[in-house]
Structure 1
Amino acid sequence: MDQHSSAPPDPFSDPQSVARYKEGPPRIVPGFADMQRMTTLILSECVPQKGRVLVVGAGGGLELQTFAQAHPGWTFDGVDPSAEMIRLAEQTLGPLLSRVRLYPGEVDMAPDGPFDAATCLLTMHFVERKKRQRMAVEIRRRLRPGSPFVVVHMSIPDYEDAKARAHWLSRYAAFAVSSGVAPRNADTARATMESRLNILTPEHDEAILHEAGFSNINLFYAGFTFRGWVAYA
């Protein structure tokens, strides 16, 4: 028997999982809608009326929809490695798609810009540290000097400590259950995250941004296992 035959499918390439994707983030990410709204407000501090924004991990289209609805003059370039998630983004955006260009692949497939801002929401925890560092460098290279980069993902204090890690991930599962996720599904998600995601500590996450050349790095959002920063090119 193929040793990989019982492995769970990649949720971002499995059509059934992708079809349910939009139900997930609002139920498992504390303050999901407000986090997106805060991101929009942070971008609007610097992005001009006819600005251009790079969205990394754009599949699904949820943040693109929020940004585009709030600012009719902005245009967007989005990248995502999952073709299924890009198709979902196209469906989510509907008529807003006229202001968006989507590219299958990673950040190196994005145009060189220069962009007035960039975002990477709920994506970096899928990426191992060295590759995450390269992504941050490539994003900064595409930004105008002084432009904001907003990044949000799972980031857990004392993640190397097994007891502390288990405590934080239990909080994640409890929040999901309180949002209507079945306890068994929440426990499965918790175990999957611990074994498969590349979660770092906030200190390591900020160090990656510093090493990529970003400055004035500030935490603007924290919700249990999730953290969000704004940094400037």
Structure 2
Amino acid sequence: MSTDFDPLVTFGPDHAATYDDRFKALHGIKDMIHLALESTFANLPETAHLLIAGAGTGAEVRHLAPLFPNWRFTLVDPASAMLEIAKRHAEAEGFADRCTFHATYVSEVDAGNFDAATSLLVSHFVQQADARTDYFRSIADRLKPGAPMLNADLCADQSGAEFETLMKFWQGMMAKAGMAPEGQEQYAKSFGTIFACHGPSDVEAMIETAGFIPPVQCVQAGLIKGWLTAKA
């Protein structure tokens, strides 16, 4: 990972305070991912317990908790300021009693027996392939056999012929969200510095190596790709 980027610093109190309103113009993408979660996990047990890896401010839990009133959630994120916002949302919206919060990495959480897991826009911050595989393995180690996981990340094959067109499209989306031209240019350079530059097939191989069945891409919105898999 670039020495200029530290997620624990980037996702500190100032960033956390405004995080929910960032990229508000693009919330339709978040809604699409949440719809995929809702349909993917619809057949889980009535009292399912979900592992939310890299929970941030808890957006996916805010979507799922009202729909599945007997589910429980374990939210894990090393950025304590982000997790504190998630806790406030849970308290204000009445589902805090079904949540536990761990301001740490998934690998530091006691092994559980979770019915499902989410990892949304998390692993793309892990630059090294071995470390990224270990991250996925830390999730697999805490799931029941056959338990599903939905993973979504910024991901593209930079060597592919379509990458330049896709990046220009994504920069246009960033402009829609209010990002200045210089920010858009920096974003184009962020793969391999802020975001991992592993291509889709690389990510799929990491997930499978970590103990999951071969993942199937089920979502794409610009540079965001989402995969459905399950613990092998």
Query: TM-score category by the smaller chain?
Result: 0.7 to 0.9
Gaps of 5+ in 2: none
Corresponding residue of 1:150: 150
Matches within 5 A, 1:1-233: 10-13=9-12, 15-24=13-22, 26-28=24-26, 31-45=29-43, 47-94=44-91, 95-128=94-127, 129-156=129-156, 158-160=157-159, 165-193=163-191, 195-233=193-231
Q: Deviation of residue 189 (structure 1)?
A: 3.8
Gaps of 5+ in 1: none
**Counterparts in 2 of 1:199 and 1:27: CA distance versus 1, 3 Å:** farther
Which secondary structure does the structure 2 equivalent of 1:44 belong to? coil
Q: Deviation of residue 44 (structure 1)?
A: 1.9
Return the TM-score normalized by structure 2.
0.87
Residues matched between the structures, number: 224
Q: Could you list the per-position Cα deviations for residues 96-143 of structure 1 after superposition, in whole angstroms to 9, with x for gaps in the alignment?
A: 222110101111122311000011001111012211101111211111
Which secondary structure does the structure 1 equivalent of 2:41 belong to? helix
Q: Deviation of residue 206 (structure 1)?
A: 0.6
Q: Deviation of residue 182 (structure 1)?
A: 4.0
> Conserved in 1, the CA contact under 8 Å of 2:204 and 2:214?
no
Amino acid at match of 2:41: L
Further displaced range: 213-222 or 80-89? 213-222
Which secondary structure does the structure 2 equivalent of 1:215 belong to? coil
Q: Percent identity?
A: 23
Distance in 2, matches of 1:184 and 1:71, equals: 43
Q: Deviation of residue 184 (structure 1)?
A: 4.2
> Conserved in 2, the CA contact under 8 Å of 1:172 and 1:225?
yes
**Counterparts in 2 of 1:204 and 1:216: CA distance versus 1, 3 Å:** closer
> Conserved in 1, the CA contact under 8 Å of 2:208 and 2:214?
no
Which secondary structure does the structure 1 equivalent of 2:38 belong to? helix
Distance in 1, matches of 2:46 and 2:194, equals: 40
Q: Deviation of residue 55 (structure 1)?
A: 0.5
